[in-house]
Structure formats: C-alpha cells, structure tokens
Amino acid sequence: REIEKSIKFFQGRYPNLKLDRIIVTGGASTLPEFPLYVANKFSVNVEIGNAWRNVSFPASRQNELMSISNHFSVACGLAERKA
C-alpha cells in the first residue's frame, strides 16, 4: 500500500516523467520474492538498493558490509544529501 501511495505521489508531482524502475531498500527488500512481487504488481523493473554505492571501504570488509547494507539505506541517503 505504501508503494502504491508513493507511485501516485510521484506521478502526480511529475506527470511528464515515466516511472521506469523502483529501488527497494530496508528489511522488506530481503523478503523472499518481494522484489518480484513489486515488479509484477506495478509492471516496472525493481532493483535492490545498495546503501554503500557511494561509500569507500576496505575490500576486506565488503562481504560484511554488503550483508547489512539494507539496514543503512536511510542513514546513507541522508548523509549523501548533506554532502
């Protein structure tokens, strides 16, 4: 329901833009089949977000940090806005 509200808000705010993908983050993004469900329900490509896409860290920590990425999507997004 929240995704549907967000899509309607986006379409109302930007009627000339086409929604071509949805990026899911947070705990729900790790639910089995959730990205596929969203893709089928809204007929749009769905990607699982990567909170670390603009963050540098040692390669030796990659596996550890990628496994908890979904817990940091809001914090990293807010940090990027301030940068």
- pLDDT > 90: percent of the chain: 46
All residues at 6 or more sequence positions from 30 whose CB lies less than 8 Å from its CB, including other chains: 70
pLDDT per residue as tens digits for the range 4-35: 999 999 999 999 999 999 999 888 888 989 99
Q: How far apart are the first and last CA of the chain?
A: 32
Domain segments of the chain as ranges: 1-49, 50-83
Question: pTM of the full predicted structure?
Answer: 0.74
Q: What is the mean pLDDT of the chain?
A: 89
Note the pLDDT of residue 83.
56
pLDDT attached to residue 43: 94
Predicted pLDDT at 15 = 94
Tell me how far CA of residue 73 lies from CA of 12, 18, 23, 45, 58, in angstroms: 25, 24, 11, 19, 19
